[in-house]
Structure 1
């Protein structure tokens, strides 16, 4: 025997979602649709970020420290050789390697900065659209809920007017209760998505700050240091041993630190 609470007048069993749609009308259907779209967007963003978000790994930190001590070709070469499949998905890894290689090749500093700024923007651009979708859902949900309430109130008072003022209080309160359901649903959807949007934006700002800090550290090495190390590698008797890759983890010096600034200058 079916539960009467979940059975309509035709004897067909209905669930909570059907009851919400029946109480809120078409506006409730729109609210449920944008809630599902928001959840799917957030899951996609988390999965995409787990693989393609820029990550400042320990290997990159050690490589940049080694680069500050001895800015030679062995640093980007060692990074490329030691990169695994998961590391190759890290945009920051490619940004650091490309910036080091461009500096060693004598590329113009302004051209390097413009290229770095474009590549950094491209690395973060895939996260902007999902964030915007979540922000729009957080802003639209309470407005849609208010629209549903207004429409429900209009329907309730229209029914009362049709009875020439003879509607009792229970009929009016029932109509208002159903109308307010959409407002409650809109707030229930908007609050968590607003919190998620703020958290995602905070994470993106931290990632951008990390990218800028890492790239500015690479760019802050003087040209003279690059020239000195290149000359030393070419002229010293131990050139072959100097060119041999050294583990980045062996370097622990802290006298050189990157300045926190924007990579575009």
Structure 2
């Protein structure tokens, strides 16, 4: 049996190159970028994702029942520092201010829609990065497979078809390893991208329903 164990002491990059060629290093870099992006996205979501806590929900209910009894300035002040990081709080209170000031109804709705879209924009770029990584990883794995098979057939051609297992195993091993590595990177990031997109859709629905509840008082 051919010995294809990794040489010791070459370092991580050297070992990855021995396992699957330069494509393995690229896949590792993509995986690291994806992990950093996902951690950033989670921190961003924890701090700045629009959310509807119970206190804000009660405020909207009180506003529907008695608009004159709700002061947007008081709502902002009582939200505290953590609460004021919530974009939905500002969307709701700004809409209340506009309604109290008797601004044009069409302008209020357009402003609310624009501000709602801006609240979700910071999450779109990280999501796109994760989606691109999920799409690129299997293609890179396929590229590694092609390069590995080319190496194997090149070795066979150099020996005029008399290549032994030792000469062929390196290229075949590289081909199989990069294919597997590409899938290992792509599958979890594809799942993460789908989960993040699902969360953003839910947040979008929460924003829409909350703003509609706030705007309907003007009717």
TM-score (norm 1): 0.77
CA distance in 2, matches of 1:67, 1:16: 60
Q: Which ranges of structure 2 fall in alignment gaps of 5 or more residues?
A: none
1:21–1:143 CA distance, 2 compared to 1 (3 A): same
SS of the residue aligned with 2:161? coil
Structure 2 partner of 1:261: none
Superposition deviation, residue 141 in structure 1: 0.1
Kindly tell me the number of residue pairs found equivalent between the two proteins. 215
Which runs of structure 1 show a deviation greater than 4 angstroms over 4 or more consecutive aligned residues? 5-8
Superposition deviation, residue 17 in structure 1: 5.2
Worse-superposed segment, 94-103 or 175-184:
175-184
Kept in 2, the 8 Å contact 1:152–1:176? The answer is yes
| 1:185-214 deviation line (CA, Å, top 9, x unaligned) | 000000000000000000000000000000
Kept in 2, the 8 Å contact 1:73–1:101? The answer is no
SS of the residue aligned with 1:221? helix
Q: What is the RMSD of the two structures over their aligned residues, measured on CA atoms? A: 1.5
Q: Is 1:65–2:61 an aligned residue pair? A: yes
Q: Which ranges of structure 1 fall in alignment gaps of 5 or more residues?
A: 224-265
Q: Is 1:37–2:33 an aligned residue pair? A: yes
**Residue of 89, 92, 110 corresponding to 1:114:** 110
Structure 1 partner of 2:70: 74
Q: Is 1:128–2:124 an aligned residue pair? A: yes
Higher-Rg member (1/2): 1
SS of the residue aligned with 1:82? helix
Structure 2 partner of 1:142: 138
Structure 2 partner of 1:192: 188
Structure 1 partner of 2:82: 86
Kept in 2, the 8 Å contact 1:23–1:179? The answer is no
Structure 2 partner of 1:216: 212
